[in-house]
């Protein structure tokens, strides 16, 4: 069974940094792209970016809305996905999801990030 479990969320001040983690299990981690998606309360989700699989060199792509501030990485020895978020703004407040699959087949339960002073 595919499982994705996000962690690392919470309250952070504007301008601060935070790293989210996503623990993956139940599938061959290196075979799949891994995605980050966020969703402000009451709004539509927003795709943030992805990191490709082993066959595609683990390269990354980002939404221009976060490019340069957010970095996606993966630890293939630990089946972990990460989202490093820097220079956080109030508008980054949202629930953050990791997802995987040929599409967004599988999602984690999400972790809340609140950017506020």
Partner 1 sequence: DVVLTQTPVSLSVTLGDQASISCRSSQSLEYSDGYTYLEWYLQKPGQSPQLLIYEVSNRFSGVPDRFIGSGSGTDFTLKISRVEPEDLGVYYCFQATHDPLTFGSGTKLEIK
Which residues are at the interface with partner 1 (CB under 8 A)? 44-47, 61, 63-65, 97, 101-105, 107-110
Shortest Cβ distance from residue 48 to partner 1 (Å)?
9
Q: By C-beta, is 77 or 102 nearer to partner 1?
A: 102
Q: Tell the smallest beta-carbon distance from residue 79 to partner 1 (Å).
A: 19
**Backbone φ and ψ of 55, nearest 5°:** -60, -25
DSSP 63-110: -TTTBTTEEEEEETTTTEEEEEE-S--GGG-EEEEEEETTTT-EE---
Query: CA nearest 93: which of 63, 74, 68, 117?
Result: 117
The residue (of 2 and 15) whose beta carbon lies closer to partner 1 is 2
Smallest distance, partner 1 to C-beta of residue 103, A: 5
Name which of 16 and 45 has its Cβ closer to partner 1. Answer: 45
- The closest alpha carbon to 66, from 81, 43, 79, 49, belongs to 49
* Shortest Å distance, C-beta 77 to partner 1: 26
Judged by beta carbon, residue 63 or residue 79, the one nearer partner 1 is 63
């Amino acid at each position: 069974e595919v499982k994705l479990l996000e962690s690392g969320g919470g309250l952070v001040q504007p301008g601060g940094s935070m790293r989210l983690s996503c623990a993956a299990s139940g599938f061959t981690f290196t075979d799949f792209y891994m995605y980050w998606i966020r969703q402000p309360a009451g709004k539509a989700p927003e795709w943030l970016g992805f990191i490709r699989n082993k066959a595609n060199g683990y390269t990354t792509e980002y939404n221009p809305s976060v490019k340069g501030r957010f970095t996606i990485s993966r630890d293939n020895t630990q089946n972990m996905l990460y989202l490093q978020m820097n220079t956080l703004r109030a508008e980054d407040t949202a629930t953050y999801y990791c997802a995987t699959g040929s599409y967004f087949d599988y999602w984690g339960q999400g972790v809340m990030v609140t950017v506020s002073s």
